[in-house]
Chains A and B, each alone.
Chain A
């Protein structure tokens, strides 16, 4: 039986397990009444993800970040940040136009799912990342807190040096550009696993546990959480930080999104198409 993008989206919304709270998860491109032939999920709908989705007949693309890059918000997301650019500005850009044309020509629909997904009690982005780095069995949930909630994020992997820990993550996550702060020979035993954009309150909360000696995160602001961490280290605490990058830290969660949608939408194939790490390093 045929299902349209709008019908698939409504089914997803109804099954979210929490009220649909955020109006930011919207159809970003394409026509909602399009008949869906397959669903792709990704951290972000890059040109490459759109090509692979179109090529494999997955014409509903569920993306965590926006296909036209900007959050288009009118409030700042961090201090010293900026707002926009808004759609009216983006539309003048030739890359915007080319990407929009590709979406239209290939009958794609791009729908954003981030805020409402993150508002669920269980943080599937955390769960996905923990699985991807092989840490599920090392999970140390705090009693009294929902298992796999965002703040319940402590793991005790086998003791390793900071360098060994990051090398293991590079292998597991197949990434090349994680950035590290701390002594490579520092012994790390107890990690707080964070993901995505990192602001000071979340980092500060993770550091309240005095036994944590490793912070793993996605993207700290370099005049906020970055120096906050460096100050914690300068205060005498033996601690390391692995900054995976936003995509690397959030992409496994898009695999979780795919698995979950698969359980709801059985009419069409559902596939996770990772955007991949955007960075290279100098050799």
Chain B
């Protein structure tokens, strides 16, 4: 029989579950804090940290409070906080913002009832929120696309030296769309173009028209997670109407990047072992009726 030994991680779990109330968790070094975890992430990323980032910062909570568990997620939605809290995970690392804008600008929301509710949920439950966007993308390889490629099963199909383009065995736009729907577990996929369009080369598009114009010229079909309907989508529609053999598959933002934060949780676990680390899917909540 193995010796009964509490690892630091087990110890933290028990503490988090309230079984050792009254005992200091880490008498020697003090509890692990969110700030320490972020510092450790910075050390392991392998790229310089951009101190001027407005995105990859703490969004709420106390960076110096004790962390009992870490939830990695795509978007720090209230529903994600609720699930993380139930599991005793009080530090949420989210790829996307908390208060519904890229800058996480809270000034316009001061009197917004939902803002107040979400803020007080975070505070009352002792949660801390950090956004990790730019640096997880900037890591080599891009941590979001790495996870996403794996989820699609397309790792071997990447065009060498280009992490946004794949060469598939000869297929059709409709067949690619079905594969994407199934592998990314999304029920809200939309397509522009003929489902029977022959497809070999697929490129990951952008949120912007300029990005999608550049990408479309090099591939048979674009795979895009969220783009504006009046520009990117209409540009592709016009390309098809002009007789070009092109197409587009449009998926939700969640479906497009969520797997990259599952990947992040796996990576984080390799150097944060004191507390549980778990991927909490934000999930694509949209569905298209049959």
Contact = CB atoms under 8 A, between A and B. Distances in A.
Contact of B238 (A69, A179, A234, A283): A69
A180 interface: yes
Contacts of B105: 79
A178 B289 CA distance: 8
A47 B239 CA distance: 9
A199 B23 CA distance: 48
Interface residues of B, number: 58
Interface centre among A46, A93, A231 (most CB of B within 10 A): A231
A70 B231 contact: yes
A179 to B, nearest CB: 4
Contacts of B191: 279-282
A65 B234 contact: yes
Interface residues of A, number: 61
A71 interface: yes
B233 interface: yes
Interface in B82-127: 82, 96-97, 100-103, 105, 108, 112-114, 117-118
A91 B127 CA distance: 51
B102 A69 contact: no
Interface in A34-92: 44, 46-48, 65-66, 69-71, 79-82, 84-85, 89
A246 interface: yes
Given A46-B234, A84-B210, A180-B289, A227 B100 contact: yes
Contacts of A98: 242
Contacts of B20: none
A79 B79 contact: no
A167 B289 contact: yes
Interface string A162-185: 010011001000000111110010
Contact of A222 (B113, B213, B226, B288): B226
A132 interface: no
Instruction: Say what secondary structure dominates the interface of chain A.
Output: mixed
Contact of B286 (A46, A180, A207, A231): A180
Contacts of B97: 223
A232 B112 CA distance: 12
Contacts of B190: 177, 179, 279-281
Nearest to B75: A227
A219 B252 contact: no
A230 interface: yes
Interface centre among A47, A167, A225, A233 (most CB of B within 10 A): A47
B35 interface: no
Interface in A222-247: 222-228, 230-235, 243, 245-247
Contact of A246 (B230, B253, B286): B230
Contact of B177 (A99, A208, A282): A282
B285 interface: yes
A245 B191 CA distance: 13
Given A222-B226, A223-B97, A234-B79, A69 B188 contact: no
B66 interface: no
B229 A85 contact: no
B221 to A, nearest CB: 13
Given A200-B101, A223-B253, A69 B189 contact: no
A224 B195 contact: no
A200 B252 CA distance: 18
A278 interface: yes
Contacts of B118: 231, 235
Contacts of B192: 278-280
Nearest to B176: A282
Nearest to A51: B241
A146 interface: no
Given A163-B289, A231-B78, A223 B239 contact: no
A259 interface: no
Contacts of A233: 79
A147 B208 CA distance: 37
Interface of A: 44, 46-48, 65-66, 69-71, 79-82, 84-85, 89, 93, 95, 98-99, 163, 166-167, 170, 177-181, 184, 197, 200-201, 204, 207-208, 219, 221-228, 230-235, 243, 245-247, 278-283
17 contacts: A69-B235, A71-B230, A80-B101, A80-B102, A82-B208, A82-B209, A85-B210, A85-B213, A95-B235, A177-B190, A197-B230, A222-B254, A223-B253, A227-B100, A231-B79, A234-B77, A278-B233
Which 5 interchain pairs have the tightest Cβ spacing? A80-B102, A79-B102, A47-B241, A79-B101, A234-B79
Given A44-B230, A82-B208, A282-B195, 18 more contacts: A47-B238, A89-B210, A179-B286, A180-B286, A219-B229, A222-B226, A222-B253, A224-B100, A231-B77, A245-B229, A247-B229, A280-B193, A280-B195, A281-B189, A282-B181, A282-B189, A283-B174, A283-B195
